Amino acid sequence: MSGGHLTPDNQDPVPRELGSNLPTSVTLGQVVLWCGRPDARVVFMPADLVLIPFTVLWSGLAILIGVVALNGGSRMPTGIAISIIVVVGLFGLYLFVGRFVVKAMLNAKTSFVVTASDAIVARGRTITRFPLHQHAVEITRTRRGGHATVYFGDSSGGGMDVGNLGLDFLAPKYGQRMRSRIWKAHDMAFYNVADVAGLMDSFRRAGVLTS
């Protein structure tokens, strides 16, 4: 089950498969209109169309420089050349494989909740809330309409959205500097929701403006 919705009279608003991921304080005293989680079948995000080719280009160039240095084609010390190859190789491996594993692990413990007043993302012990009636909600659907990604709040930057890429560790240190030039970021988002009808119905019942 990818999502659930209910009536205000329901005494058990959170489906069992999601309840284990949600601390009791998340929905305490609130009417839950819908809840769900990211669809694990969706692997790639739109930003991957740029990120993967860039990674190939950047990794290949860096490794080539290191190999040339090892073969005596430059004055770079051998130790530095080996270090470049190892570091770039490991980071490239993470970008190609590791981040998808990390993203799958994070999404497995992520739950989305819509109440009459808030949108909530619960990931382990980290709870993020967004008041639904302060800003419009932006919804992006796939071409076939099978999934939806919902953005909450104002976006910063004018580039491509790079959320849900398994690169969360970059955000605290580099996020603000890079957003203005390379990507855009939102206050919060529901990524790759399969239960589009249930989610849209919850927004309608909450009286939320969507765009």
Q: What Rg value do the Cα atoms of the chain yield, rounded?
A: 21
If phi > 0 it is left, if psi is from -120 to 50 it is alpha, else beta; for residue 189 that is beta
Confidence at residue 16, expressed as pLDDT on a 0 to 100 scale: 46
Amino acid at 52: I
119 and 152 in contact (C-beta within 8 Å)?
A: yes
Q: Please give the Cα distance from 58 to 85 (Å, whole number).
A: 12
In the numeric block, the tokens 């959170």 are attached to 14
Q: How confident is the model at residue 210 (pLDDT cuts 50, 70, 90)?
A: confident
pTM of the complete model beyond 0.85: no
Amino acid at 55: T
How confident is the model over 146-180, as pLDDT tens digits? 899 998 876 655 556 667 888 776 654 444 444 44
In the numeric block, the tokens 């770039």 are attached to 88
Confidence at residue 199, expressed as pLDDT on a 0 to 100 scale: 93
Res. 59: pLDDT tops 90: no
Q: Which residue has the higher pLDDT, 80 or 171?
A: 80
